[in-house]
Each structure stands twice: as structure tokens, then as C-alpha cells.
């Protein structure tokens, strides 16, 4: 795995955790070149599941993108990564069990709200209010990413920057 800090590919796994349901694995890695620690996540991607967005566009279901959205709703709440991972794993499993291979983005949004409600009221309200406004999880993620970019620009010295959600899916979320 390439180190996000120094770009070398020499790392060693220092911790491996399997989710309670056994459908996701997190690995804590240490770059042997620069000692940077980072986390990778492994889950089953349901074969050929496509998300139908509100405007009719379809895209492949991306668990990482889903995780970004949930992590943003949980921002600065005391919800650990393992809990967020379990929500993503739960939703991924549910989608893989559906008889059809297409699912509306609203359906995923409703699932997220249902699960978040049990975990953290604030994260739920945050996700629900923004999600219901946009009616599309992708639009929500784009909006929160924009807000965070603005916050970052406003307070570059913020010591909470390490807790800010990281956009692992790259730039494609912003180009839409
Ligand atoms: Zn490194």
C-alpha cells in the first residue's frame, strides 16, 4: 500500500481488526520509510450494484463514498471509526442481499438515517436535515466537502484538523 505521506510502498501492518459481523477488515499500517500511520479498509463490494441518483444518473455503489458521508455527519461526535465501518458494512450487506442490482440513492439515505438514529442523535439530525434538503447523498457529500474546504481555509491552524474526515475517494465527488 502506498504511503499517503511519502509515496513509498514499504509498510507493515501493525493491527488488523475484523468487524463483529465478519464482513469488513481494517488494517492499521505503519510506513517503514517515514513512520506515518494510516488505515486501510477492506470490504465486500456487492457485484454490479448500481445506485440510481435522483436525476436518473447511475453509478457503481462505492462503500468508500458512503463512509465519507457518514463520517461527515459524525464529525466531532464521539463515534469511533469501527462504528462508522459497521454502518457501512451493514448497508453494504443489505444492498448485496437485494433481489435487484439497482438501488435508488434515496433508499441508501433512508438506511443511513435509520442506523445513525440508533447510534447518535446529533449525527442523525445532521445527516437527516442536510440529506432531506438535498434528497441525494452525493449532493450532501459534495456540500459538506465544500463547507469543510471553506472551514479549513478560514482556520488553517485548527488543531481539530486531524479529526476532519478524509476524502478517500479522490476528486471525483467534487467534479459533479
Ligand atoms: Zn511514508
pLDDT, tens digit, 9 for 90 and up, residues 122-163: 888 888 877 776 655 666 666 666 666 766 666 544 444 444
Residues in the chain where the model's pLDDT stays below 50 = 156-164, 166-176
Q: Which residues surround ligand 1, an ion (CB under 5 A)?
A: 3, 5-6, 31, 33-34, 36
Q: Tell me, in angstroms, the distance from the centre of ligand 1 to residue 30's CA.
A: 8
Q: Tell me, in angstroms, the distance from the centre of ligand 1 to residue 35's CA.
A: 6
Q: Is 107 in contact with 97 (CB distance < 8 Å)?
A: no
Strand partners, 93: none
Q: Tell me, in angstroms, the distance from the centre of ligand 1 to residue 39's CA.
A: 13
Name which of 139, 16, 3, 118 is nearest 72 in CA terms.
Answer: 139
Q: Tell me, in angstroms, the distance from the centre of ligand 1 to residue 151's CA.
A: 27
Q: Tell me, in angstroms, the distance from the centre of ligand 1 to residue 155's CA.
A: 27
- pTM for the complete prediction? 0.56
Residue 53: its pLDDT value, please? Answer: 85
Residues 162 and 37: their CA atoms lie apart, in Å, by 12
Amino acid at each position: 500500500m502506498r504511503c499517503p505521506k511519502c509515496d513509498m510502498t514499504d509498510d507493515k501492518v501493525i493491527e488488523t481488526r475484523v468487524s463483529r459481523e465478519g464482513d469488513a477488515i481494517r488494517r492499521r499500517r505503519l510506513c517503514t520509510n517515514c513512520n506515518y500511520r494510516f488505515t486501510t479498509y477492506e470490504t465486500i463490494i456487492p457485484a454490479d450494484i448500481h445506485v440510481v441518483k435522483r436525476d436518473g444518473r447511475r453509478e457503481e455503489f462505492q462503500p468508500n463514498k458512503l463512509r465519507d458521508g457518514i463520517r461527515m455527519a459524525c464529525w466531532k461526535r464521539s463515534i469511533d471509526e469501527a462504528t462508522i465501518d459497521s454502518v457501512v458494512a451493514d448497508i453494504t450487506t443489505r444492498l448485496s442481499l437485494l433481489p435487484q442490482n439497482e438501488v435508488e440513492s434515496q433508499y441508501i439515505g433512508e438506511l443511513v438515517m435509520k442506523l445513525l438514529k440508533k447510534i447518535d442523535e446529533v449525527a442523525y439530525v445532521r445527516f437527516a436535515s442536510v440529506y432531506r434538503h438535498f434528497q441525494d447523498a452525493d449532493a450532501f457529500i459534495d456540500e459538506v466537502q465544500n463547507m469543510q474546504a471553506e472551514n479549513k481555509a478560514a482556520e488553517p491552524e485548527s488543531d481539530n484538523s486531524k479529526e476532519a474526515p478524509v476524502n478517500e475517494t479522490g476528486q471525483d465527488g467534487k467534479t459533479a
